[in-house]
Structure 1
Amino acid sequence: MNTATVSGPAPDAAGDAMGPDPVHVPVLVVGGSLSGLSAAVLLAHQGVGCLVVERRSGIGSHPRSRVLTARSGEVFRSVGLEPAIDAVSRRPSGWFEARTLADPTYTRLDPSGDPTLLISPAGSRLCDQNRLEPILLADARSGGAKVLYGCELTSFEQDPHGVTARILDRSTGRSRTVRCSYLLAADGTRSPVRDSLGIGLRGRRGEPRFLSTVFAADLDPALRGRRPTAVVFPGREVLFARGTSRAPLWEYGIPDSPFPAGACDDEVGRFVRERLRRVTGLPGLEPDVRSVLRWGASAVVAERFGEGRVFLLGDAAHTMPVVGGLGGNSGIQDAHNLAWKLAAVLHGNAGRELLDTYDIERNRVADHTLWHVLATVRGLPEALPPETLQLGYLYPDPAGGPDAGPCEDPYRPTGRPGSRAPHLWLGHDGGRMSVLDLFGTGFTLLAGPLGQRWLPAGARAAAGLGLPLAVYRIGGPDSALRDPCGTFPTRYGIGPAGAVLVRPDGYVARRWETAPHTRTALEHAVRTALEQPAALSPEPASNAP
Structure 2
Amino acid sequence: MSHHTVSAPVLIIGAGPSGMVSALCLARRGVDCVLIERRPGLENHPKAHELSARSIEILHELGLGHGELSAEASPEEDAAKILFCGTIGEEFGCIDLRANGVGRKYREHLEAPMPYLNLSQVELEKLLRGRVSASPRIQALHHHQWESFEQDAEGVTSRITDRATGETFSVRSQYVICSDGAGSRSRKALGIEMKGPDKLLDVVNAYFQADLRRVVRTRGKLYFIFSPKAPGSVFIAHHVEKRWVFHLPVATPHEKIEEYTPEVMQKKIKAALGRDDVDIEITSMSHWRMTAQVAERFRSGRVFLVGDAAHRFPPTGGLGMNSGIGDAHNLAWKLAMVIERRAAPRLLDSYEAERRPVIETNCDESRLNFERMSEVAEAFGIEVEEAQWVNEKLASSTMRALPAPLRAWTERQVQHYGESILSRYHRDPSVRERVLAAIAQQRSHFDRIGLDLGYTYEEGALLGDGTRPPEVDDRVSSYLPSTRPGARFPHFWLDGNRRQRGSRSMIDYGASILLLGAAVEALPADLEALEHVEARHGVRLFRLGAADIPACHRAAVHALAQIEQDGALLIRPDGHVAWRQQRGVTLSVELIASIVEQVYGV
User: Which band: TM-score by shorter chain?
Assistant: 0.7 to 0.9
Mark the CA change 1:406 to 1:349 in structure 2 (over 3 Å): closer, same or farther. Answer: farther
* 1:201-350 paired onto structure 2 within 5 Å: 201-206=194-199, 209-223=202-216, 226-234=218-226, 235-243=231-239, 248-256=242-250, 263=258, 268-350=261-343
Q: Distance in 2 between matches of 1:485 and 1:89?
A: 38
Residue 10 of structure 1: aligned partner:
none
Residue 99 of structure 1: aligned partner:
86
Given the alignment of the two structures, is residue 522 of structure 1 paired with residue 512 of structure 2, yes or no?
A: no
Q: Which amino acid aligns with 2:573?
A: P
CA contact (8 A) 2:516 2:541 kept: yes
Q: Distance in 1 between matches of 2:553 and 2:96?
A: 32
Q: For residue 148 of structure 1, give the secondary structure of its aligned residue in structure 2.
A: strand
* 1:409-424 paired onto structure 2 within 5 Å: 411-424=479-492
Residue 399 of structure 1: aligned partner:
463
Q: Distance in 1 between matches of 2:162 and 2:504?
A: 41
* 1:144-159 paired onto structure 2 within 5 Å: 144=136, 145-159=138-152
**TM-score relative to the length of structure 1:** 0.86
Given the alignment of the two structures, is residue 118 of structure 1 paired with residue 118 of structure 2, yes or no?
A: no
Q: Which amino acid aligns with 1:227?
A: R
Given the alignment of the two structures, is residue 193 of structure 1 paired with residue 181 of structure 2, yes or no?
A: no
CA contact (8 A) 1:395 1:419 kept: yes
The superposition leaves residues 317-369 of structure 1 with CA deviations (integer Å, 9 ceiling, x where unpaired) of 11111011111111111100011001101111111111111111111211122
Q: Which amino acid aligns with 2:85?
A: A
CA contact (8 A) 2:204 2:257 kept: no
Residue 88 of structure 1: aligned partner:
72
CA contact (8 A) 2:205 2:287 kept: yes
Mark the CA change 1:310 to 1:414 in structure 2 (over 3 Å): closer, same or farther. Answer: same
Give the superposition deviation at 1:486: 4.7
User: Alignment RMSD, CA only?
Assistant: 2.9
Give the superposition deviation at 1:413: 1.9
Given the alignment of the two structures, is residue 44 of structure 1 paired with residue 34 of structure 2, yes or no?
A: no
Residue 541 of structure 2: aligned partner:
471
CA contact (8 A) 1:394 1:407 kept: no
Q: For residue 196 of structure 2, give the secondary structure of its aligned residue in structure 1.
A: strand
**Unaligned 5+ runs, structure 1:** 1-12, 16-20, 533-545
Q: Which amino acid aligns with 1:109?
A: I
Give the superposition deviation at 1:251: 1.4
CA contact (8 A) 2:184 2:309 kept: yes
Q: Bigger radius of gyration, 1 or 2?
A: 2
The superposition leaves residues 343-398 of structure 1 with CA deviations (integer Å, 9 ceiling, x where unpaired) of 10111111111111111111121112212222233339998962111111111252
Q: For residue 470 of structure 1, give the secondary structure of its aligned residue in structure 2.
A: strand
User: Structure 2 residue aligned with 1:426, among 470, 494, 499?
Assistant: 494
The superposition leaves residues 51-85 of structure 1 with CA deviations (integer Å, 9 ceiling, x where unpaired) of 11111222111110100001101100111102321
Residue 6 of structure 1: aligned partner:
none
Q: Which amino acid aligns with 2:63?
A: G
Give the superposition deviation at 1:454: 9.9
Given the alignment of the two structures, is residue 66 of structure 1 paired with residue 49 of structure 2, yes or no?
A: yes
Q: Distance in 2 between matches of 1:503 and 1:89?
A: 31
CA contact (8 A) 1:427 1:484 kept: yes
Given the alignment of the two structures, is residue 501 of structure 1 paired with residue 566 of structure 2, yes or no?
A: no
Q: Distance in 2 between matches of 1:499 and 1:438?
A: 14
CA contact (8 A) 1:365 1:406 kept: no
Q: Which amino acid aligns with 2:346?
A: E
Give the superposition deviation at 1:287: 0.8
Give the superposition deviation at 1:86: 2.1
Q: Distance in 2 between matches of 1:210 and 1:138?
A: 31
Q: Distance in 2 between matches of 1:285 and 1:455?
A: 77
Q: Which amino acid aligns with 1:304?
A: R
Given the alignment of the two structures, is residue 14 of structure 1 paired with residue 9 of structure 2, yes or no?
A: no
Mark the CA change 1:295 to 1:331 in structure 2 (over 3 Å): closer, same or farther. Answer: same
Q: For residue 344 of structure 1, give the secondary structure of its aligned residue in structure 2.
A: helix
Mark the CA change 1:430 to 1:208 in structure 2 (over 3 Å): closer, same or farther. Answer: closer
User: Structure 2 residue aligned with 1:28, among 11, 15, 40?
Assistant: 11
Of the structure 1 ranges 166-175 and 202-211, higher mean CA displacement relative to structure 2 is found in 202-211
Residue 450 of structure 2: aligned partner:
388
Give the superposition deviation at 1:208: 6.4
Residue 548 of structure 2: aligned partner:
480
Mark the CA change 1:334 to 1:71 in structure 2 (over 3 Å): closer, same or farther. Answer: same
Mark the CA change 1:438 to 1:429 in structure 2 (over 3 Å): closer, same or farther. Answer: farther
Q: Distance in 2 between matches of 1:299 and 1:462?
A: 50
Give the superposition deviation at 1:133: 0.8
Q: Which amino acid aligns with 2:345?
A: R
Q: Distance in 1 between matches of 2:291 and 2:64?
A: 30
The superposition leaves residues 235-277 of structure 1 with CA deviations (integer Å, 9 ceiling, x where unpaired) of 332211114x7x621111123367956626xx52222222222
Residue 408 of structure 2: aligned partner:
none
Residue 123 of structure 2: aligned partner:
131
Give the superposition deviation at 1:499: 1.6
Q: Which amino acid aligns with 1:125?
A: L
Q: Distance in 2 between matches of 1:309 and 1:407?
A: 37
Q: Which amino acid aligns with 2:36?
A: V
Q: Which amino acid aligns with 2:500?
A: R
CA contact (8 A) 2:465 2:484 kept: no
Mark the CA change 1:78 to 1:309 in structure 2 (over 3 Å): closer, same or farther. Answer: same
Mark the CA change 1:454 to 1:415 in structure 2 (over 3 Å): closer, same or farther. Answer: farther
Mark the CA change 1:242 to 1:268 in structure 2 (over 3 Å): closer, same or farther. Answer: same
Q: For residue 378 of structure 1, give the secondary structure of its aligned residue in structure 2.
A: helix
Q: Distance in 1 between matches of 2:158 and 2:151?
A: 9
Q: Distance in 1 between matches of 2:541 and 2:334?
A: 21
Mark the CA change 1:46 to 1:429 in structure 2 (over 3 Å): closer, same or farther. Answer: farther
The superposition leaves residues 159-180 of structure 1 with CA deviations (integer Å, 9 ceiling, x where unpaired) of 0001011100111111001111
Give the superposition deviation at 1:35: 1.1
**TM-score relative to the length of structure 2:** 0.78
Give the superposition deviation at 1:431: 5.6
Q: For residue 500 of structure 2, give the secondary structure of its aligned residue in structure 1.
A: strand
CA contact (8 A) 1:350 1:530 kept: yes
Of the structure 1 ranges 201-210 and 174-183, higher mean CA displacement relative to structure 2 is found in 201-210
Given the alignment of the two structures, is residue 174 of structure 1 paired with residue 167 of structure 2, yes or no?
A: yes
Given the alignment of the two structures, is residue 54 of structure 1 paired with residue 116 of structure 2, yes or no?
A: no
Of the structure 1 ranges 333-342 and 76-85, higher mean CA displacement relative to structure 2 is found in 76-85
